[in-house]
Structure 1
Amino acid sequence: MKRILVVDDDPDILEVFQLTLEEEHYDVLPLLSPRYIFKTIKDFHPDLIILDIMLNGMDGRAVFKELRLDPNTEHIPVILASARFDEQYIATQRYQPDFYLEKPFDMPALIKQVKYLTSKN
C-alpha cells in the first residue's frame, strides 16, 4: 500500500484528504505542523507528500525547499496546495513541485495526480 503524508494546519482539510485517499486504498498520515516533518518522513517512508503552503507559523515553501535540498527527501514527489497562491506564481519559483493544487480543490484531479505520482516510484 502506498503511503501519503499530508501536512496542513487545518484539521478539517486533513480529514477530507485522509478520508478521500483512504477510500482509494492509500495509507495516509495527517500532520498538523511541519515541525517534525523530517522525523515523520524517516519513520513513515511516504511515497508522496501533500504540503500546504500557508501553515500556521511556517512557510510551506521553505519546508518544500528543505525537502528538495535534502538528499534523503529530494526524490519524494510533492504536491503543494494553497488557497492564496495561484499556479502562475508557483511556476515562477526556483523549486517546482510535482503538482500544484489550488484550493478549493478538485478531488478527482487530486486523485488522478496522486495515482500518477505514486505509480512512478
Structure 2
Amino acid sequence: MGKILMVEDDPGIMEVSKIILEKAGHTFIGLREGETILQTVAIEKPDLILLDLMLPGVNGSEIATKLKKNPESKEIPVVVVSARYNIKQIAEEIGSDGYLSKPFEIEDLTDLAEKYLQKA
C-alpha cells in the first residue's frame, strides 16, 4: 500500500477520502492549503498526490507545475481533483499525471489510487 497526500480545502471531501483510502490500507496525509506542500512532500515523501485545483491563496495548477519541476517531487504522480467541466484539458495543460472529477464515487478514488500506486 502507499502513502497518499491530499491537498483539499473542503473538510467533508477530505474526511471521506481519508476514511476510504485508509480502509483500503493506504497511509493518508491531508493538507487544507497548498502553501506548505513542497515542504510536506520533502518530509513525508508520498507515493501519490491528490491535488484540488481550487484552493484558497494559491492555485492548484501552479502547485502542480511546481511539483513537476521540483527534483524531489517530479517523479511522484500528481492527480488533480476538481468539479470544473474542463478538468481533463486542465490536467493535460499543467502536466499532471491524471485527474479525478468531483463528485466522485468510492470506486473511482480507490481505483485511481491503485492505478498510480502500482507504478510506484
User: Percent identity at matched positions?
Assistant: 36
Question: Given that residues 86 and 102 in structure 1 are in contact (C-alpha distance below 8 angstroms), is that contact kept between their aligned partners in structure 2?
Answer: no
Task: Indicate the RMSD between aligned Cα atoms, in angstroms.
Answer: 1.4
Match of 1:103 in 2: 102
Match of 2:118 in 1: 119
* Cα separation, 1, equivalents of 2:68 and 2:29: 20
Question: Given that residues 50 and 78 in structure 1 are in contact (C-alpha distance below 8 angstroms), is that contact kept between their aligned partners in structure 2?
Answer: yes
Runs of 4+ in 1 over 3 A off after TM superposition: none
Match of 1:13 in 2: 13
Match of 1:25 in 2: 25
SS at match of 2:95: coil
**Against the structure 1 CA distance between its residues 92 and 117, is the aligned structure 2 distance closer, same or farther, given a 3 Å change threshold?**
closer
TM-score by length of 2: 0.92
Amino acid at match of 1:117: Y
Tell me whether 1:54 sits opposite 2:58 in the alignment: no
SS at match of 1:4: strand
Question: Given that residues 78 and 99 in structure 1 are in contact (C-alpha distance below 8 angstroms), is that contact kept between their aligned partners in structure 2?
Answer: yes
Aligned length, in residue pairs: 120
TM-score by length of 1: 0.92
Runs of 5+ consecutive residues of structure 2 not aligned to the other structure:
none
Amino acid at match of 2:47: D
